[in-house]
Amino acid sequence: MTLYQPFLDYAIAILQERLDLQPYPIPAGFESKEGMMGKGKKAEPVVTTSHAFQSSKLRQIRAAHVQGGNSLQVLNFVIFPHPIYDLPFFGADLVTLPGGHLIALDMQPLFRDDPDYQKKYTEPILPIFYKYQQSLEWGGDFPQEAQAFFSPAFLWTRPQRTEIVQTIVFQAFCDYLQAYLDFVQVAQPVTDSQRLAEILAAQQRYLNYRAAKDPARGMFTRLYGEEWTEEYIHGFLFDLERKLALTK
């Protein structure tokens, strides 16, 4: 059992329970990939597995799970709604490196500066954020350019102890995901053509930013090479541009 396996197991179980969950196609070669981290006697095998689903309202629900023993544990779990809904993205970046844990949880807004949007999607989850903020210290500065893509309920922390990840962070992950699925449950399709165009543009902005700035790029390149990494990022992790190109 690895550190983030319980998170992934919970997510898949609750998604199956609450949604009309269907598989989402994972391109060949990305379902599972093995590599080695470190050199000589310190070398450890690293396995990256991909998981993907979809539902009537959610275009892609996907996870990249990296298991590298004591040196590396990562779960990147993101939900992308169909662009006919104004739903935010659900994002969980759970990273454990030799230097410690990096935890980021959020419902990333399409329109951060829109007060109506914030009232609809951020205000209802602020009580969850405040609840966990008391025991999960703020993780410090993050890039200015990234701030536009996070909500005021962004839970960003660097816990020192693994047991905090296994308990408090796990419960926060569960609560954020349940709250997100509550939003999904009541979401109604947008019919206004101008708003639909704004939603698609906002989704594209977010995906283009994430694909360009993916913090895992260096790790994956060292493990599996540049060609595999770029195809994994653009062809699976952030694949909206590819999917839109196929429909034109």
Compute the average pLDDT of residues 20-40: 89
pLDDT of 248 strictly over 90 = no
pLDDT of 1 strictly over 60 = no
Q: Does some domain include residue 225? A: no
Q: Does some domain include residue 208? A: no
Compute the average pLDDT of residues 4-14: 96
Compute the average pLDDT of residues 14-25: 95
Q: Does some domain include residue 201? A: no
* CATH code of the domain covering residue 80: 3.40.1500.20
Compute the average pLDDT of residues 84-94: 96
pLDDT of 60 strictly over 60 = yes
**Burial degree of 228 (CB within 10 A; 0-12, 13-18, 19+):** middle
Provide the pLDDT for residue 148. Answer: 76
**109 or 44, which is more confident?**
109
Q: Does some domain include residue 203? A: no
Which residue's structure tokens are 């809904």?
85
Compute the average pLDDT of residues 13-34: 94
Determine the Cα–Cα distance for residues 40 and 19; give it in Å rounded to an integer.
46
Determine the Cα–Cα distance for residues 142 and 170; give it in Å rounded to an integer.
22
pLDDT of 189 strictly over 90 = yes
Encoded amino acid at 36, one letter: M
Compute the average pLDDT of residues 146-163: 89
Half-sphere exposure of 226 (CA within 13 A, CB side): 0
Q: Does some domain include residue 85? A: yes
Mean pLDDT of all residues belonging to the chain: 91
Collapsing DSSP states into helix, strand and coil, what is residue 247? helix
Domain range enclosing 35: 5-192
Determine the Cα–Cα distance for residues 91 and 77; give it in Å rounded to an integer.
6
How many domains are there within the chain?
Answer: 1
- The beta strands (E) that lie in the chain are given as 22-23, 32-37, 44-54, 58-67, 73-81, 89-97, 100-108, 155-157
Q: Does some domain include residue 238? A: no
Provide the pLDDT for residue 56. Answer: 96
Other CB atoms closer than 10 Å to residue 122's CB: what's the count? 20
Q: pLDDT, tens digit, for every residue of 208-226?
A: 888 888 888 988 998 898 9
Compute the average pLDDT of residues 184-197: 96
Provide the pLDDT for residue 142. Answer: 73
Q: pLDDT, tens digit, for every residue of 33-58?
A: 998 877 777 778 889 999 999 999 99
Q: pLDDT, tens digit, for every residue of 133-147?
A: 989 988 887 777 777
Q: Which of 92, 9, 4, 74 is nearest to 37 (CA)?
A: 74
Q: Does some domain include residue 247? A: no
Q: Does some domain include residue 142? A: yes
- Please work out, in degrees rounded to the nearest 5, the angle formed at the alpha carbon of residue 101 by the alpha carbons of 95 and 105: 60
